[in-house]
Structure 1
Amino acid sequence: MYTVRPPFFLKWYYRNLIWNKDSTEKIVYLTFDDGPIPNVTSFVLNTLKSFNVKATFFCIGDNISKHPEVFEQIKTDGHAIGNHTYNHLKGWKTDDETYIDNFWKCQELTGTNLFRPPYGRIRKSQIEKLVASYELQVRGNSKFKIQNSKLEIIMWDVLSGDFDLKLSPEKCYQNVIKHTRNGSIIVFHDSLKAWDRLEYALPKSIEYLLQQGYQFKTL
Structure 2
Amino acid sequence: MGLYPDRIPYWFSKLFSSYFWHGDRQNKRVYLTFDDGPTPEATDFVLRELAKQQFQATFFCIGDQVAKNPEIYDLIQEKGHRVGNHTFHHLNAWTASTDEYLNNVDQCAELVSSNLFRPPYGRITGKLTKGLKEKGYKIILWDVLSGDFDPSRTSGSCLTALKKNTRNGSVIVFHDSEKSFQQLQKILPPYLEFLRENGWASKAISVS
Number of equivalent positions: 203
The corresponding residue for 2:80 is 78
TM-score normalised by length of structure 2: 0.94
Write the letter of the residue equivalent to 1:119: Y
Identical-residue share of aligned pairs (%): 44
The corresponding residue for 2:119 is 117
SS of the residue corresponding to residue 109 of structure 1 reads coil
| Unaligned residue ranges in structure 2 (runs of 5+) | none
TM-score normalised by length of structure 1: 0.89
Deviations 1:150-200 (A, max 9, x none): x21100010000000111111111121110000000000001211122101
How far apart, CA to CA, are the structure 1 residues paired with 2:142 and 2:161?
13
The corresponding residue for 1:182 is 168
Write the letter of the residue equivalent to 2:129: I
The corresponding residue for 1:14 is 16
| Unaligned residue ranges in structure 1 (runs of 5+) | 136-150
SS of the residue corresponding to residue 111 of structure 2 reads helix
How far apart, CA to CA, are the structure 2 residues paired with 1:190 and 1:175?
19
CA RMSD of aligned residues (A): 1.2
The corresponding residue for 1:206 is 192
The corresponding residue for 1:107 is 109
1:29 to 31, 46, 49: 31
Deviation, structure 1 residue 131: 1.1
The corresponding residue for 2:203 is 217
The corresponding residue for 2:143 is 157
Tell me if 1:130 matches 2:132: yes
Deviations 1:12-63 (A, max 9, x none): 4532100001111110000000000100111001111111111100000000
SS of the residue corresponding to residue 87 of structure 2 reads coil
How far apart, CA to CA, are the structure 1 residues paired with 2:123 and 2:14?
14
Deviations 1:103-133 (A, max 9, x none): 111111111011000000011111101111x
